[in-house]
Amino acid sequence: MELLEVRQVSKAFPGVYALKKVDFVLKAGEVHALVGENGAGKSTLIKILSGVHRADTGAVFLEGKPIEFNNPSAARALGIGTIFQDFELANNLTVAENISLGRLPRRRGAVDWNAVRARAKEVLGALQVPLDPMAMAGGLGVGEQQIVEIARVMSQEVKVLIMDEPTSSLTSEEVDRLFEIMRKLTDREVGIIYISHRLEEVFRVSDRISVLRDGQMIGTYVTREVEPAAIISAMLGGRKHAAQHKERQISGDVVLNVENLSGPLLREPISFQLHRGEILGLAGLLGSGRSEILGTLFGMGGPTTGTVQVEGTDVNLSSPQQAVAAGMALVPEDRHREGIFPNLSVRENMVIPNLIRLTRGGLISPSREKRFVHENIAAFSVKTAGPETPITNLSGGNQQKVVFAKWCGTRPRILLLDEPTRGVDVGAKAELYAIVNRLVEKGLSVILASSELKELLDVCDRILVVRNGQIITEVPRDHFDYTNITAMMMGAK
């Protein structure tokens, strides 16, 4: 008898991808990775398993018994726990209280705080993590918050644990710790469904791998019997592989000259130069200050001091408006909260920074707006049912393309990209970098911050290594070396 079995499950949404007769089996004590491009149906499948969505047809069996639920608490009651990618803790409460949230133990009607603390200690102890149950959740790092979320799910009887992109904001040490915890859980016969875009991690941690593509189950593979290349080709189904670096000649023109720039976001004054047509990488660990450098260049922190010149002219970057006027564009790190407007359509999202340009006599010209949107949907190959589709109906990669498109309409000279491919699948990643390459060929210059060094090495012409808020060194393309740069990022060199 299998722990969890999905039989012929289908699900359709208006205007979006669906699941088509998907079969899936999870055994007790295994880590089963679920991979596929964005929009392949991974999220839909786990949302069905966790009770967020309901399948249109087909059935789900837990330990041989058919189960049916339509809310997450019912799924949890049956022993299916989910750690969503965008989980949120109550920041103003303690770790212990977060772990017991929603089912605080009571004694004579009042909350039994001793029991709350004891439960937290017990479950954190079982996971062998040194976290203070009385610490405020808001004061923890993302990795620690994730552990609290795992503890929260684990503090109830869990047979099936679903983890959606659990490592996307973790440092490599935190990833190691997470994998250890997962191993402990599988020793206790918990079945884990592990969703990730990071193939390297998938191969490290999983026992089996299932590949979804366009809502269909392509196949299930035993991890140690399969090559990563085979998984990628199953995921992509003949689509082309990730972007590789294009050899090109960088001109000597300095587009951006930063000297002793300091501002509220920066720990140390920074200086560097960016050349025309160059892709400059900012490599650094989470919290190293790479995002803050981009934020400061986009005027997010308020007044700055020091010198910034764009194409030789002094500019002031004390507000986003000034930064835009100076020719900057920023694709922010947190797409959901900073990149898109969830209440608006693809069209409305795309035109926001371009509205002034689309007006005639003070009013937005509908025909110009329409033309702009159609051109950019095509130019950025955004997969959408139409311009009026709500942006939230699009997959992550396609939402990100809209964010790119909205900025490229403003004809920026410098494009600031903060983790542009976070939570985006291999195929969309390649497309996004193809777009970046195309823009660079047109003379745009790019500063790219990423936690995935591999990506920086693939794409950049030059890399600045950031540590503790400082630019500690500059690495030209012919000195690119994964181990070497990682060592510098981590302070080992």
Partner 1 sequence: MQTQEWNLSKRLLRCTFVLLDGYSVVIGLVLVSGAMSFLSPVFLTSPNLLSVIRQVSVIGLLAIGETFVVLTGEIDLSVGSLVALSGVVAAMAQKAGLGLVPSIVLPLAVGGLTGAIIGVIVAKGKVPSFVVTLGVMGVARGIALVLTNGFPISGFGENYKWIGGGEVFSIPVPMILLLILTVVAAVVLQQTPFGRNLYALGGSRKAAFYSGINVDRELVKVFVLSGTFAALGGIVLTARLDAAETVAGLGYELSAIAAVVIGGASLSGGVGSVYGTLLGTLFIGVIANGLTLLAVSSYWQQVVQGAIIVLAVLLDQLRKRIPRGVSRT
Instruction: List interacting residues with partner 1 (CB under 8 A).
Output: 13-16, 298, 300, 319-321, 323-324, 330, 332, 337-345, 348, 351-353, 355-356, 359, 362-364, 366, 388-390, 392-393, 406
The CB-of-213 to partner 1 minimum distance in angstroms stands at 22
**What is the smallest separation between the CB atom of 55 and partner 1, expressed in angstroms?**
12
Q: Which two tokens stand for residue 387?
A: 């311009």
**236-241 — which CB contacts under 8 Å span 24+ positions?**
236/37, 236/426, 236/427, 237/213, 239/427, 240/430, 241/426, 241/430
CA distance 189 to 185: 7
Smallest separation, CB 144 to partner 1 (Å):
24
Q: Where are the beta strands (DSSP E) in 248-381?
A: 254-262, 270-275, 279-283, 305-310, 313-314, 328-331, 359-360, 363-364
DSSP string over 3-60: SEEEEEEEEEETTEEEEEEEEEEE-TT-EEEEE--TTSSHHHHHHHHTTSS--SEEEE
Are 355 and 406 in contact, with CB atoms under 8 Å apart? no
Q: How far apart are CA 400 and CA 127, in angstroms?
A: 36
Residue type, 479: H
Q: Which is closer to partner 1, CB of 115 or CB of 364?
A: 364
Q: How many helices (H) and strands (E) does the chain have?
A: 16, 24
CB of 49 to partner 1, least distance (A): 18
**Cβ of residue 408: shortest distance to partner 1, in angstroms?**
13
For residue 286, the tally of other CB atoms under 10 A from its CB is 16
Report the residue number, 218 or 293, with the smaller CB distance to partner 1: 293
C-beta of 355: minimal distance to partner 1 in Å?
Answer: 4
Beta carbon of residue 263, minimum distance to partner 1 (angstroms, whole number): 16
The Cβ-side half-sphere exposure at 170, using a 13 Å CA radius, reads: 20
Q: Structure tokens of 356? A: 């002034």
Q: How far is the CB of 38 from partner 1 (least distance, A)?
A: 18
Q: Indicate the angle between helix axes 142-154 and 113-126, nearest 10 degrees.
A: 110
Half-sphere exposure of 90 (CA within 13 A, CB side): 12
Query: What DSSP string describes 426-457?
Result: HHHHHHHHHHHHHHHHTT-EEEEEES-HHHHH
d(Cα 15, Cα 17) in Å, to the nearest integer?
7
* Strands of 172-251, DSSP E: 191-195, 208-213, 216-222
